[in-house]
Structure 1
Amino acid sequence: MEEKPTKHTQENNHLSYGSARNIVFDKYEMGRLLGQGTFAKVYHGRNLRTSESVAIKVINKDQVKKEGLMEQITREIAVMRLVRHPNIVEIKEVMATKQKIYFVMEYIKGGELFAKVAKGRLKEDAARKYFQQLVSAVDFCHSRGVWHRDLKPENLLLDENENLKVSDFGLSALPEHHRNDGLLHTQCGTPAYVAPEVLRKRGYDGEKSDIWSCGVILYVVLAGYLPFQDENLMKMYSKVFKSEFEFPPWFSYDAKRLISRLLVADPQKRITIPGIMKNPWFCKGFNRPIAFSIQEPVTETPLEQDDEAQKKELELKRSKSSPPFYNAFAFISSMSSGFDLSNLFENRTRSGTLFTSKCSASSIMSKLESLAKKTNFKMVSNKDFKVRMQGASEGRKGKLSVTAEVFEVAPEVAVVEFSKEAGDTLEYGKFCEEDVRPALKDIVWSWQGENSVPRTEM
């Protein structure tokens, strides 16, 4: 007879073993250990409500704090919330106690691409399919301002349908990690897959370095071994700097041509993702998805709260007749910091374009409807003080889809948040600057960052 779930309220009970089932926050049942690293263990889990299989990554908070890696963990959460794509491992929920952080993620049971290649090189059609899915995922990451920086077969998983899923965004970077020269400078990644400009420590473009790593991966799955190999690490680096490698005889002419353009030592001469997608070898059988959108927000509990605090709603109180309210404490905090509204969004994605208004919520909603008509955007939905509109024309990432939501922070103060659900980031930025700002200037009290360009969701 199956035991009933046990309610745990103490931290040390969350991972207890024995006859009792291991229940996390009364939501997930913890199962067998799938793998472990220095600071984390990954378990198979089951959603108690839906019976869906999940992977639960459990991180020791004290250890990561001691090693100064808390910022990296926070960044990984932020990145995974941005990059929801069919070929990227999905993060479903983040929970935390005083001692542990729990990442609840999509369970991928097909294992690593590395394990498949370790059994022998792949046939060209199979390698092409995985490479197409990899490039599609990487292109999506780049469109949202995310550079992976540790692409390798060990971080590429396969689901039950043999579809590729990119994982492990622990070393990824966002636009704010650029220095004044507009480049990234942190040397990271796995040596055999790292671009020469990263090894030179002079700054690098995250997009171009990811493309190099994709080239190494394509070579590996077709050859069954690395293009740059040597027992002496410095000699291997020398080969990387010169892009010195040879093709095995079984590579097709078109595959060799593409890899030769991917593994170019000079990043300025390296092929771009649009160039890859026009390549004849790559295009064979490739159906490029029109667009990707975030269907459901990822829920998250603050990393510093305990169990009981997690069970309280801290952010929004909604009603059918009025827009959602922010709690008074957050509003006072924002006012005391020079009206910096970032505090209001501390537990949100903080990725939209924000402005404040002294107009009523209904007036703002009318103005948003006028904006949609003026810009030839289709109103997909309009309810609960939230408008979703979609552009008529196809862009680089399909049709641009934008959401605008109105929040009340006080009787005479409203916050309006624009965010991109689908489409290209550059097109979204242009839409905010050239269409949104002029159309709404008569109702705007203050944009966040008085003279700043509206922030775009990356």
Structure 2
Amino acid sequence: MIGSYRLERTLGRGSFAKVKQAIHAKTNERVAIKIISTKDASTSSLTHIRTEVACLRMLDHPNVVNLREVLASSSHIYLVMELVTGGELLDRLALERHFPVGVARRYMIQLLSAVDHCHKKGIVHRDLKPENILLDEHGNAKISDFGLSALYVQGFRATMLATCCGSPHYVAPEVVSRGKYDGRLADMWSLGVLLYVMLTGCVPFSGKDMKGLFSRIKAGRFAIPAEVPADAASLIRRLLVVDPTRRATMAEVAQHPFVQGKLAVVHPVVPLVPLVETGSECARVVVTDHVMDAVLTLLGPEQEGSGLPSMNAFDLLSLSALFELAPPDSLFDTRRLLMIVPGAVSDAMDRTEAHCRDLFSGAFTVVRLGHLGKLKCTVQVGLVTVRFLIQFYDTTPDFTAALFVKRQGPRIEFLRCALDAIAASSGRQSLLGDSSADVFSSDSSICVRRADESTSVSTLGRL
């Protein structure tokens, strides 16, 4: 127990903190509790935590993750927060590649409304990106992670900030230049990048390295695909203006045709959990953090000299039970994907490598460690390099388990590469079908068929 809360499953963990689902002993309300070890956290991390708490205590908006209360002991800080179960906006964006205009508009209005509320409270976020936007069970966007936020003095002149914060692809040119800047206008730039990403599925600025990326951001040159509607393109151009004094303000954006003159809270009617059908040759397993933690425990630590890893019937039985316990309203962990491939490990590796070479062509390179059951893959996606490991596990002569693990690159690009590779291995163009309307069903279950209907491995259950 922590205060009045009974701890349940682990939702995630980091180097000095973990997040647990919990339930209030009297009200039965489910919450998320961020448990921070003060002895393991660095001084800067504790500063970010204090900032986040200070900001969240001032905010009360349906599109901002709500802080319920703060508890503390001699060694830990406990942030009791609203439980948001729909995953990150990044998860859904990676699945759909880009959003229909109506969906992007609804999310943009929600985000603008939330950011406007923050600014009116004297708070700038400074790290707006898809990973920091959560979705609730109804599909509503909620801004989270205020660790890099800053408080400014409200009044005629906003306090000018001087700290370089934010994620590289979403950061404003004045922040990159490391001069003083108005944090509110930097947030507006980030919202422009977010709108671009939601409508196109890619970032407007990229480079071979950080220097090249920052150079492109400061130059402010980007292209908008022709399929982006004129009103959306117009708003993107007004937000992605290098000179912050000429960039659209919140008041100006509120009157833009794309926003339709309102900064109201709009609830997108978009079910979150995809109904995934697979071909006859392989399956994708939707994996949440707590399930993957247990899966990796079953598989054991990675040891370079230990030979080919394996999973026995007891492991499979335990794995089956874990997936049965996975909450149906959670999206998968976008750093890892699991697939089932028919045949022994060597055959599965041959087939997967061949499919990847055909799929990615000259953009694909691989280091094969056959004795360890590993493919170390690199895919060049434009100017972005994505590296991931495919670890094959010896199970039975009939099928092999293959785990995709991200090593380098944006999570969204890794997820696309992994899903494309899995789809290619199943002989399909996409695991998700041709229409997002077909993919997102009101059915709250995740249906992934067995790799081979003819096998007798009934313990796979929902695998």
Query: Which band: TM-score by shorter chain?
Result: 0.5 to 0.7
Maintained 8 Å contact 1:127/1:221: yes
81, 88, 105: which one aligns with 1:105: 81
Structure 1 partner of 2:246:
269
Distance 1:140 1:95 in 2: 26
2:124 matched residue in structure 1? 147
Q: Which residue is 1:206 aligned to?
A: 183
1:166-225 deviations in Å (ceiling 9; x for gaps): 0000010012699x9931011111011000000101111010000000000000010011
Distance verdict in 2 for CA 1:145–1:251, change over 3 Å: same
Q: 1:181 to 1:167 in 2, by over 3 A?
A: closer
Change (3 A) 1:76 1:131: same
Q: Which amino acid aligns with 2:264?
A: R
**Secondary structure of 1:62's aligned partner:** coil
Identity %: 43
Is the Cα–Cα contact under 8 Å of residues 148 and 173 in structure 1 kept in the other structure?
yes
Q: Is the 8 A contact 2:110 2:264 kept in 1?
A: no
2:102 to 113, 125, 136: 125
Give the counterpart letter for 1:57 in structure 2.
K
Shift of 1:238: 1.1
Mapping of residues 183-262 of structure 1, within 5 Å: 183-262=160-239
2:131 maps to 1:162: no
Check the 8 A contact 1:177/1:184 in 2, yes or no: no
Question: Which one-letter code corresponds to 2:12 in the other structure?
Answer: G
Aligned residues: 264
Moved more, 229-238 or 199-208: 229-238
SS of 1:281's equivalent in the other structure is: coil
Structure-2 change in CA distance of 1:116 and 1:49 (3 Å): same
Where does residue 303 of structure 1 map in the other structure?
A: none
1:54-133 to structure 2, matched below 5 A, reads 54-64=31-41, 66-119=42-95, 120-133=97-110
Deviations 1:6-49 (A, max 9, x none): xxxxxxxxxxxxxxxxx212x11111111122321111111111
Q: Does the Cα contact within 8 Å between 2:125 and 2:187 map onto a contact in 1?
A: yes
- Amino acid of the structure 1 residue aligned with 2:55: V
1:298 maps to what in 2?
Answer: none
Change in Cα spacing, 1:177 to 1:72, as seen in structure 2 (3 Å) is farther
Q: Would the aligned equivalents of 1:61 and 1:101 in 2 still touch at CA under 8 Å?
A: yes
Structure 2 CA distance for aligned equivalents of residues 275 and 201 of structure 1 = 26
Superposed CA RMSD: 2.1
| DSSP 3-state at the match of 1:165 | strand
Using the size of structure 2 for normalisation, the TM-score is: 0.55
Contact 1:150 1:188 (8 Å CA) reproduced? yes
The one-letter code of the counterpart of 2:2 is: V
Q: Is 2:98–2:199's contact at 8 Å kept on the other side of the alignment?
A: yes
Q: 1:287 to 1:273 in 2, by over 3 A?
A: closer
TM-score, length-scaled by structure 1? 0.56
Separation in structure 1 between the aligned mates of residue 31 and residue 46 of structure 2, nearest angstrom: 24
Query: How big is the shift at 1:287?
Result: 6.3
Letter paired with 1:256: A
8 A contact 1:42–1:56 mirrored in 2? yes
Instruction: Find the aligned partners of 2:119 and 2:195 in 1 and give their Cα distance.
Output: 19
Residues 152 and 158, structure 2, Cα contact 8 Å, conserved in 1: no
Distance in 2 (CA, whole Å) between partners of 1:24 and 1:104 is 10
